[in-house]
Amino acid sequence: MSTAQAAEEPALAGPAPLPRLLSALFYGACSFLLVLVNKVVLSTYSFPSPMFLGIGQMATTILILYVSKLNKIIHFPDFDKSIPVKLFPLPLIYVGNHISGLSSTRKLSLPMFTVLRKFTIPLTLLLEIIILGKRYPLSIIVSVFAIILGAFIAAGSDLAFNLEGYTFVLLNDIFTAANGVYTKQKIDPKELGKYGVLFYNAFFMVIPTVIISFSTGDLQQATDFKHWTNFLFLFQFLLSCLLGFLLMYSTVLCSHYNSALTTAVVGAIKNVSIAYIGMLFGGDYIFSFLNFIGLNICMAGGLRYSFLTLRGNIKPKQPPDEENTLLDSKS
């Protein structure tokens, strides 16, 4: 091995383990809390307007980031005509992810919602291979498909099948996978950076979403909702808006320090944890032996993936020509 190659290996190793782990835990915690709060707002209080809730989360993101920029806490580029081109297609994916995610949360029980969200993982794996040119070892692919096998077993025994809910959650899987991969591609600090991606995503899509909400009657349903004077509902609605921002930020942070696939698997482990809680406290879980076995297979696959990640065996391999180019440029 040449001196240049030896010097290059640490650079290719990526971020240190601690930031990778902490960013993944932060993402998992934010995602876990947001699903629980959204479930209360949309199901317990029967809030009829998931799109309006998404608008609240976008507006919160815009407000927090803009005020932070004005106070020089963070930095991202000022608007110019090149930004929409740099960002495309993230804003469209972003709003699709928001609306389909909120709609599916309302239509399905928590356990089945979390099971069907597992299909984000193979979609992310596929998109990383196609768009980012990454390759993964067999041990990782086996772990991913163990998660999917468990999801199939659990979903196949669903005693509360809801076609509309299944459609929304599978759309959400597609949007989430695309969002993770394209975010990883576009958070280059030399371009928009992570704060620029977050701000302009929300900025470009909040007005079109308001228009769609108005035209579909979603906005009218929200304004007519009877619990706006209920302090507990209002608190949880605002908490959902704040957690929506934190989830978007933690997703970008996790994707920055890890692969988009790792972000998806962290989400899967979080979702199975929610499924276990839903069995005990959710009140809308119908027990089935096959469903329970499937959930445990999902968790085993997710934990196996996590073990391999922390052990450092799953760093995506770069295509040979890209590696050689990197080594040649350093020699």
Instruction: Give dist(CA 252, CA 179) in Å, integer.
Output: 10
For residues 220 and 180, the model is more confident at 220
Is residue 283 scored above 60 in pLDDT? Answer: no
12 pLDDT tier (thresholds 50, 70, 90): very low
Distance of CA 323 to the CA centre of its chain: 29
Kindly state the average pLDDT of the residues 197-225: 88
289-262-312-302 Cα dihedral, nearest 10 degrees? 0
**pLDDT one-digit tens code per residue, 59-94:** 999 999 999 999 989 988 888 888 888 888 888 887
Kindly state the average pLDDT of the residues 122-127: 83
Length of the chain: 331
Rg (CA), the chain: 20
Is the pTM here over 0.85, yes or no?
Answer: no
% of the chain at pLDDT higher than 70:
76
**Given the structure tokens 């009140």, which residue do they identify?**
283
Tell me what pLDDT residue 60 has. 95
**pLDDT one-digit tens code per residue, 163-195:** 777 788 888 888 888 887 887 777 776 677 888
Residue 110: CB atoms within 10 A of its CB come to: 24
Instruction: Give dist(CA 31, CA 317) in Å, integer.
Output: 28
Kindly state the average pLDDT of the residues 213-238: 91
- 118 within 8 A of 268, measured Cβ to Cβ: yes
Instruction: Give dist(CA 188, CA 158) in Å, integer.
Output: 42
Is residue 162 scored above 80 in pLDDT? Answer: no
Phi-psi region of 72 (alpha: psi -120 to 50; beta: other; left: phi over 0): left
